[in-house]
Amino acid sequence: MNRGLLFCHARGMAKAGLLLLLAISISSYLVACGGTPASSGPVTLTFWSWVPNLQQAIDLFEKSHPNIKIKWQNVGSGGTEYTKLTTALKAGSGAPDVVQIEYAYLPQYILSGKLVDLSQYGANDVKDQFIPWTWAQVTSGGKVYAIPQDTGPMGLLYREDIFKKYNLPVPTTWDQYAQEAIQLHKANPKIYITDFSPSDGPWFFSLLWQAGSQPFVVNGTTLKIHLDDAAALKVANYWGNLVKSGAVSTAADWNNDWYAALQNGTLATWITAAWAPSDLEGFAPKSAGLWRVAPLPQWTAGEQASANWGGSTDAVTTQCQHPAEAAEFVKWLNTNPEAVKILTQKLYLFPSQKSALQDPSFDTANAFYGGQQVNRIFVESAQEVNTSFQWSPFQDYVFSQLQNQLASAVNGKISFEQAMHNTQNAVVAYARSQGFTVVS
Amino acid sequence: MIPSQDMAKHSQAEARQQAIEIQELAAPASRLPSALRFWRGWRRQVVIPYLFLLPFLLLFSFFLLVPLLYALWTSFFVERLIGGMTFVGWQNYQEVLRDGNFWEGVRNVLLLLFTQVPLMLGLSLLLALLLDSQIVRLKTIFRLGYFLPYAIPSVIGALLWGYLYSAHIGPFAQLAELLHWPPPPFLSAAGLLPSIANILTWQWTGYNMVILYAALQAIPPELYDAARVDGASGWEIARRIKIPLIAPALVLTVVFSIIGTLQLFNEPQIMTAIVPNLIQDHYTPNLYAYNLAFTNQQYNYAAAVSFVLGAVVFVFSYVFMLVTYRRGQR
């Protein structure tokens, strides 16, 4: 009796499962049929982006394009969005039509084949409007996978009051920066020149970028991986020594403690990018008027090498039913003069468009920085970004390994140099296991 | 056989016989084709019950069985960024067994299991006994107060404690600064696990207390009266009557705690933003599986990690149940 019941039970469930599968397949078939574009009414595109107050630009777009409606959603910034995007792309549904992606993460989505080649919708027509290195980062093998939206050329934000009080000149080389770090911390043990956050892989990569490291050379599915090249080891040892000396703090960045430290004068500088000055006004309002900006310190005195940290692009996913309209939107958003003006002057994005850099109204004095023309420093920095820098097609993995290793180094378990070697080995092994050809 | 049971059986059989006779009167069996008769019986005994069960079965299979089987199926493959999916059999599982990161996570949760869980359940038992005793007033307020942390979502709880633990802006650190002491090392390499244990204890003590308290309420008060007549003190009643009688509830709370602790995820996931140097992507096995799937895109390997974790949970729960069962038998 018992066994019979069990058997019926299993059979009943199998049957129910089959029925439901049938029902699902029928309904998805219906949806698929209904989904083919009838193209009579206005087209609605979903757009994931974490740029605050983007609606102003979207309103303008909808006014000039009555046939296209944009549904903007902020599903979280950076990693939070990528997790959702990767999952939705893998699942085959649920991804937005248009999506904001940072330069570093673009190659992994290009590789997955889930981004639309925009060159078939005339993307190459706007090529000349963008700073060359940004265009280099959105193209691959003659195809255009995104339109550059903003950039993050780097500079040094510093507390003028602290440097004045302890009689320190603003450092122009990394050697000088390290010396002053130790002097400053000796003069006042509560003050650190900066915070080395081992959990910020993208930030560390920008330091590698400036030092001339070339961690990846990507040629289709053949990769050169050199996360421990001479320049990378130079950067790692430099920060390793500073951390060991105790003159820099090693707390995580982007959290309340860190905001407080930037506001209350515990941190005297922030090695950061062009989008940071307006961010800083937001999370350290009480330090208004005390900050200034200077060019990034150099490895060799007299050089002008810079790098990029962050900055984003807008891409169209293959789940989009209306790629032509979506392509039109991303082109418009990042090239229309009025849209660019909103992005750069109202939303404080640092432009990827040449015209915006030359716009005189972009070069305004900023009271938070004691009336300094902040953007001027970053405009100069933008000219010095090494254009040949490349990202891996699995940058998420690289960052997470690097962060694990840097954390171990900060905790004193391994040396910083060892951290780079370990990251190199892990990434090479991962690349091989994922089917890439790794050459030296 | 006890006569009264025998009688009851007799009368049951009689009633059944009568029912059959009434049915036959209503629809003589000889006139019904046997197939139809079979269908009627089948409908009553199989179709209708399962029709009632259908909503449950559908939900159960589509939200539990199918995903579980799908994950199991996935764990036998490897998907490469270049070259797609290939069947690899047990290879993922062999790798998990050799994976130092996975076992480091298991070690962390086991450490919590053997330190935090006994502490928390001891506290829950003590609070439940106190609430059940005669010496506490305003019981409802205390019961609600202890239970309240459980009502707060664990994500919010972790954020809250993250702030309280902060060495810069946290109240404890500020108090220490007033007294010219160094800030308490809640979020240091040595202090982290106890700090997490504290959050878990704060969150779950009240929950377990309520389960134990409910079990205590179900004990017939006559037992206490009898014990008191025999001269037992309050402590002796607790030790010799209450605790033995709520043993099944205690076992339940231990099993729940084993499962919950081994699957720890929320607290470290939230706190990793505050102390990423200490909470790495493999701090707990569940966190590891999550990061493997959603950061490294190693979905297949993550599925294997989940199943090995499931096996670890099963082993610990089963061994515990076995041990308590054996004790009960003795």
Which of the residues A13, A82, A105, A218 would you substitute to probe the B interface, choosing the one with the greatest number of B C-beta atoms within 10 Å?
A13
> Residues of A with CB below 8 A from B66's CB?
17
**B15 vs A75, which has greater pLDDT?**
A75
**Minimum Cα–Cα distance from B50: chain A residue:** A12
Q: Chain A contact for B9, CB < 8 A?
A: no
pTM for the full model?
0.82
Q: Is B72 left (phi over 0), alpha (psi -120 to 50) or beta?
A: alpha
- B224 Cβ contact partners less than 8 Å away, ≥ 6 residues apart: B237, B241
> Residues of A with CB below 8 A from B58's CB?
16, 20
Q: Please count the helices (runs of H) and the strands (runs of E) in chain A.
A: 17, 13
| E strand or H helix at A264 | none
DSSP alpha helix (H) spans, A215-373: 230-245, 256-263, 276-283, 323-335, 337-341, 354-358
Report how far residue B237's alpha carbon sits from residue B245's, in angstroms, rounded to the nearest whole number.
11
Q: State the pLDDT at residue B14.
A: 64
List all residues of chain B from 53 to 112 with a beta carbon under 8 Å from chain A: 54, 57-58, 61-62, 65-66, 80-83
Closest-CA residue to A323 (of A121, A148, A139, A62): A121
Report how far residue A194's alpha carbon sits from residue A241's, in angstroms, rounded to the nearest whole number.
14
pLDDT tens by residue, A298-333 = 999 999 999 999 999 999 999 999 999 999 999 999
> Residues of B with CB below 8 A from A403's CB?
276, 280
Report how far residue B29's alpha carbon sits from residue B41's, in angstroms, rounded to the nearest whole number.
13
What token pair was written down for A85?
A: 């995007």
Mean pLDDT (whole number) for B99-108: 95
Report how far residue A100's alpha carbon sits from residue A250's, in angstroms, rounded to the nearest whole number.
30
Q: Three-class SS of residue A173?
A: strand
Report how far residue B272's alpha carbon sits from residue B155's, in angstroms, rounded to the nearest whole number.
12
**Minimum Cα–Cα distance from B45: chain A residue:** A5
> Residues of B with CB below 8 A from A114's CB?
none
The single residue listed with the structure tokens 């129910």 is A16
Q: Three-class SS of residue A345?
A: helix
Mean pLDDT (whole number) for B111-131: 95
| E strand or H helix at A156 | strand A154-159
Q: State the pLDDT at residue B35.
A: 82
A99 beta partners: A48, A315
A284 beta partners: none
Which of the residues B56, B82, B163, B270 would you substitute to probe the A interface, choosing the one with the greatest number of A C-beta atoms within 10 Å?
B82
Residue pair B152/B234 in contact by the 8 Å Cβ criterion? no
CB atoms within 10 A of CB A253: 20
Q: Chain A contact for B144, CB < 8 A?
A: no
Q: State the pLDDT at residue B26.
A: 54
Report how far residue A58's alpha carbon sits from residue A392's, in angstroms, rounded to the nearest whole number.
32
Closest-CA residue to A109 (of A86, A75, A134, A76): A86
Which of the residues A24, A222, A257 would you substitute to probe the B interface, choosing the one with the greatest number of B C-beta atoms within 10 Å?
A257
CB atoms within 10 A of CB B110: 15
> Residues of B with CB below 8 A from A111's CB?
81
- The crossing angle, in degrees rounded to 10, of helices A395-410 and A201-211 is 90
Mean pLDDT (whole number) for B85-107: 94
Report how far residue A397's alpha carbon sits from residue A404's, in angstroms, rounded to the nearest whole number.
11
Residue pair B299/B79 in contact by the 8 Å Cβ criterion? yes
Q: State the pLDDT at residue A32.
A: 39
Q: State the pLDDT at residue A220.
A: 85
B281–A404: do the CB atoms touch at under 8 Å? yes
Closest-CA residue to B85 (of B93, B94, B75, B95): B75
pLDDT score of B107 more than 70: yes
Q: State the pLDDT at residue B24.
A: 54
End-to-end CA distance of chain A: 69
B168–A257: do the CB atoms touch at under 8 Å? yes
Q: State the pLDDT at residue A229.
A: 96
Closest-CA residue to B133 (of B37, B254, B208, B235): B235
Which of A13, A260, A400 faces B291 most closely, judged by CB atoms?
A400
Mean pLDDT (whole number) for B84-99: 94
Q: Is A154 left (phi over 0), alpha (psi -120 to 50) or beta?
A: beta
> Residues of A with CB below 8 A from B82's CB?
221, 434-436
The pair phi, psi for residue A161, each rounded to 5°, is: -60, -40
**Minimum Cα–Cα distance from B170: chain A residue:** A257
- In tens digits, chain A (440 residues) has pLDDT values of 333 333 334 334 444 444 444 444 444 433 433 334 445 679 999 999 999 889 999 999 999 999 999 999 999 888 889 989 999 998 999 999 999 999 999 999 999 899 999 999 999 999 999 998 899 899 988 899 999 999 999 999 999 999 999 999 999 999 999 999 999 999 999 999 999 999 999 999 999 999 999 999 998 899 999 999 999 999 999 999 999 999 999 988 988 889 999 999 999 999 999 999 988 998 899 999 999 999 999 999 999 999 999 999 999 999 999 999 999 999 999 999 999 999 988 888 999 998 888 888 788 888 999 999 999 999 999 989 888 899 999 998 999 999 999 999 999 999 999 999 999 999 999 999 999 999 98
Which of B50, B62, B83 faces A12 most closely, judged by CB atoms?
B50
Q: State the pLDDT at residue A12.
A: 40
Q: State the pLDDT at residue A21.
A: 43
Overall size of chain B counted in residues: 330
**B250 vs B280, which has greater pLDDT?**
B250
Residue B320 pLDDT grade (very low, low, confident, very high; cuts 50, 70, 90) = very high
B61–A111: do the CB atoms touch at under 8 Å? no
Which of the residues B81, B104, B160, B186 would you substitute to probe the A interface, choosing the one with the greatest number of A C-beta atoms within 10 Å?
B81
The pair phi, psi for residue B81, each rounded to 5°, is: -60, -40
Q: Is the dihedral of CA A392, A397, A400, A405 positive or negative?
A: negative
A8–B280: do the CB atoms touch at under 8 Å? no
Which of B50, B168, B296 faces A396 most closely, judged by CB atoms?
B296
**Minimum Cα–Cα distance from A12: chain B residue:** B50
Residue pair A141/A220 in contact by the 8 Å Cβ criterion? yes
> Residues of B with CB below 8 A from A260's CB?
168-169
pLDDT score of B285 more than 60: yes
Residue B44 pLDDT grade (very low, low, confident, very high; cuts 50, 70, 90) = confident
> Residues of B with CB below 8 A from A393's CB?
81
What token pair was written down for B299?
A: 């979905």
Q: State the pLDDT at residue A209.
A: 96
Q: State the pLDDT at residue A5.
A: 34
- The residues of A whose Cβ lies within 8 A of any Cβ of B are 8, 12-13, 16-17, 20, 79, 83, 86-87, 90, 111-112, 197-199, 221, 250, 252, 254-257, 260-261, 266, 393-394, 396-397, 400, 403-404, 407, 410-411, 430, 433-436
Closest-CA residue to A316 (of A85, A35, A42, A52): A85
What token pair was written down for A172?
A: 């122009």
The pair phi, psi for residue A336, each rounded to 5°, is: -60, 125
What contacts 24+ positions apart, CB below 8 Å, involve B25-30? none
Report how far residue B317's alpha carbon sits from residue B330's, in angstroms, rounded to the nearest whole number.
20
Closest-CA residue to B292 (of A284, A182, A430): A430
A435–B276: do the CB atoms touch at under 8 Å? no
CB atoms within 10 A of CB A436: 24
Residue B34 pLDDT grade (very low, low, confident, very high; cuts 50, 70, 90) = confident
ipTM of the complex: 0.78
A261–B294: do the CB atoms touch at under 8 Å? no
Q: Chain A contact for B299, CB < 8 A?
A: yes
| E strand or H helix at A56 | helix A55-64
Report how far residue A386's alpha carbon sits from residue B83's, in angstroms, rounded to the nearest whole number.
33
A155 beta partners: A272
